[in-house]
């Protein structure tokens, strides 16, 4: 029987804290083999509610390849949402949904220059999932070597090491 996430998405915006928490656990606990109805999650990506968008992205991350129809919107969120937490979550989702797709790769490359160090770190981690790297991508990754944020510099070292080991 298909899982309809509408009730969980609606609870995210509700006043009942217990239902809100249950909804977060349910959306974040979905898996790629779950028979979730996808359209309500896709629709939530355009919600005016930052929290609803965040949890829709979290669900799509868990649903991995089934989320592919939302890839263009998730890429937009990764590079253009006002909330750094949504951008960070969307960057992580790109690595799970379709790390080899050009749309995802372009968004990941742009996210490496995000104003938030949290987003830049997530982009470095996400690039580890990309199957192979162009010279432009490697140059963008290497630019983080001298990032002003020490945690981003540490993430650069880890990401670059993983990329080198794989190639």
pLDDT digits (tens, 9 = 90+) for 55-104: 999 999 999 999 999 999 999 999 999 999 999 999 999 999 999 999 99
Helices (H), 13-149: 17-28, 39-44, 50-63, 71-80, 84-97, 102-111, 117-127, 135-142
Share of the chain above pLDDT 70, in %: 99
Q: How confident is the model at residue 35 (pLDDT cuts 50, 70, 90)?
A: very high
Helix/strand number for the chain, H first, E second? 10, 0
Closest residue by Cα to residue 138 from 150, 148, 124: 124
- Residue 50 structure tokens: 């930052």
Closest residue by Cα to residue 137 from 148, 124, 150: 124
Domains of the chain in start order, with CATH, are 6-166 (1.25.10.10)
How does pLDDT run across 123-161, given as a tens digit for each residue? 999 999 999 999 999 999 999 999 999 999 999 999 999
Strand spans (E) along the chain: none
Please report the pLDDT score of residue 101 as a whole number: 97
- Residue 65 structure tokens: 């390849």
Question: Does residue 167 register a pLDDT over 90?
Answer: no
Which residue carries 């979730």 as its tokens? Answer: 36
> What is the spatial distance between Cα 57 and Cα 80, in angstroms, rounded to a whole number?
14
Its pTM stands at: 0.95
Residue 146 in contact with residue 153, Cβ under 8 Å? yes
Please report the pLDDT score of residue 166 as a whole number: 75
């Amino acid at each position: 029987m298909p899982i309809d996430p509408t009730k969980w998405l609606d609870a995210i915006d509700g006043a009942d804290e217990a239902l809100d928490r249950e909804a977060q656990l349910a959306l974040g606990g979905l898996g790629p083999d779950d028979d979730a109805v996808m359209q309500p999650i896709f629709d939530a990506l355009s919600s005016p509610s930052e929290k609803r968008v965040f949890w829709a992205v979290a669900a799509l991350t868990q649903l991995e390849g089934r989320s592919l129809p939302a890839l263009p919107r998730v890429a937009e969120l990764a590079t253009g949402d006002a909330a750094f937490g949504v951008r960070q979550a969307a960057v992580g989702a790109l690595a799970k949904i379709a790390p080899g797709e050009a749309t995802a790769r372009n968004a990941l490359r742009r996210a490496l220059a995000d104003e938030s160090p949290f987003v830049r770190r997530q982009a470095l981690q996400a690039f580890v999932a990309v199957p192979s790297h162009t010279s432009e991508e490697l140059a963008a990754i290497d630019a983080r070597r001298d990032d002003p944020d020490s945690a981003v510099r540490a993430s650069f070292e880890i990401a670059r090491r993983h990329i080198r080991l794989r190639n």
